[in-house]
Amino acid sequence: MKFLIVLALIGAAAATPLSADQAALVKGAWDKVKTSEVEILAAVFTAYPDIQAKFPAFAGKDLASVKGSAAFALHATRIVSFISEVISLSGNSATAPAIETLATELASNHKNRGVTQAQFNEFRTALTNYVSSNASWGDNVAAAWNQAFDNVYAIIFARL
């Protein structure tokens, strides 16, 4: 479910789009972790097993047994790639419609799977914890990261 990571999406299209400086802070933090796809998804599943249960290929299975599989790595890469795409578009008002389109598609796909706002928020918490523990993180980065999530979630939640 791309939703898990999208949430790391960094925003644009909502009420207060990220400035170029804020986007640079988010991109800097994300660049430090984006090659740790498997660890990111494992951290989300560890923190919130209910999210793992939404993935048919991993539901009901021990995380340790699936974490090393090709299927897990592939799905983790899909999620991180989606987030990377949204982050790369942030901080430029001309790309706000593209971010809105991506977030709208994500919302539609996850609404059909019964993913709740609460699970999106769980994902946000787990991802933020992972990034903040593995990248340079201060109040300025946290504020930009949270604004990015707020922007993307406003789009997603309006469509769930």
Q: Is residue 14 domain-resident?
A: no
pLDDT at 48 over 60: yes
Which domain CATH number covers 132?
Answer: 1.10.490.10
Domain count for the chain, please give it: 1
pLDDT beyond 70 at 54: yes
| 120: containing domain | 20-158
How far apart CA 91 and CA 70 sit, in angstroms, is 34
Report how far residue 53's alpha carbon sits from residue 33's, in angstroms, rounded to the nearest whole number: 24
**SS3 sequence of 99-146:** HHHHHHHHHHHHHCCCCCHHHHHHHHHHHHHHHHHHCCCCHHHHHHHH
pLDDT-based confidence at residue 1 (cuts at 50, 70, 90): low
pTM value > 0.85: yes
Query: How does pLDDT run across 99-151, given as a tens digit for each residue?
Result: 999 999 999 999 999 999 999 999 999 999 999 999 999 999 999 999 999 99
